Structure 1
């Protein structure tokens, strides 16, 4: 069951935004490898970097569930779907663009612990010619998890559906 939903627009400067534990260090510079860029996902302890199709304001919806939600029956609206873990040791998750002023960034209160995070990337190819405007969107589902699991790519852009890590 869905516990909480947050809808926001984030400035995706450098084609990314963050979900991170409030106490985590905010540095993903070494995490954006070529593989991370391809997956649109960079990870560091307590931090998830979500890659975006443009470096402008992008719509982001975050939904927190009490247990793992079902995958949508129709995955066609999404070009990419990733799953990874996020450790929330502080009980607060910060949602921010990578150049946002951290003390003023939005926070979501959660129970402390490990969360599984599923990131849906939609309409990545629906951008204006100059790449500044678009219909891309990012939806994040989070739920508590008592086990740590590797990154899972459920659907990869420009590829058929795959289940890999």
Structure 2
């Protein structure tokens, strides 16, 4: 399954969560969380885009880990997400629900790919940044930064 969205990333974040659990998103953030650009909590993965604007997001739900060239992306992180209800919800931070997708109940791995980060203007309001999220069934595992991007302007 493949979907495309324009998601308003107010406060530089949007959420993937289990619709049946409706987890609390009032989380404390560390400097490490901000550098990783992804934060997790039970039943929740927070994606932290670079712009505080609407951003293009592609979502793929697949059966197995993706075999994709990571050199196409600036930053790549993987995290686990428990979806016991079998209902994946994509939700804006200050907006509402974007979509609710039916999946097999269970634990998934989420690969968050961040591209076009070098195109951002100095005020970080404009750019060609784009995001791809890939989910597949997998046992729970710690959050892992696969490829790290450090903005040379910061």
- TM-score, L = length of structure 1: 0.85
Change (3 A) 1:25 1:33: farther
Task: Work out whether 1:157 is the aligned partner of 2:154.
Answer: no
Q: Count the aligned residue pairs.
A: 151
Check whether the contact 1:21–1:46 (CA below 8 A) recurs between aligned residues.
Answer: yes
In 1, are the aligned partners of 2:8 and 2:53 still within 8 Å (CA)?
A: yes
CA contact (8 A) 2:23 2:42 kept: no
For 2:6 and 2:75, locate their aligned partners in 1 and report how far apart those are by CA, in whole Å: 19
**2:126 match:** 133
Could you tell me which runs of 5 or more consecutive residues in structure 2 were left unpaired when the two chains were aligned.
none
Counterpart secondary structure, 1:125? helix
Structure 2 counterparts to residues 84-123 of structure 1, below 5 A: 84-102=79-97, 105-123=98-116
> TM-score, normalising length from structure 2?
0.91
Question: 1: CA distance between counterparts of 2:140 and 2:149?
Answer: 25
Deviates more, 1:86-95 or 1:5-14: 86-95
* Correspondence 1:81 to 2:73: no
**Which residue is equivalent to 2:22?**
25
Q: Cα RMSD between the aligned structures? A: 1.6
Aligned equivalent of 1:60: 57
Q: Secondary structure at the match of 1:84?
A: strand
Following TM superposition, where does structure 1 have runs of at least 4 consecutive aligned residues deviating by more than 4 angstroms?
none
Alpha carbons of 1:156 and 1:66: their partners in 2 closer, same or farther (altered >3 Å)?
same
- In 2: Cα distance, 1:51 partner to 1:109 partner: 24
Conservation of the 8 A alpha-carbon contact between 1:31 and 1:42? no
Q: 1:31/1:24 Cα in 2 relative to 1: closer, same or farther (>3 Å)?
A: farther
Name the CA distance, whole Å, in 1 between partners of 2:18 and 2:46: 12
The unaligned stretches of length 5 or more in structure 1 are 160-165
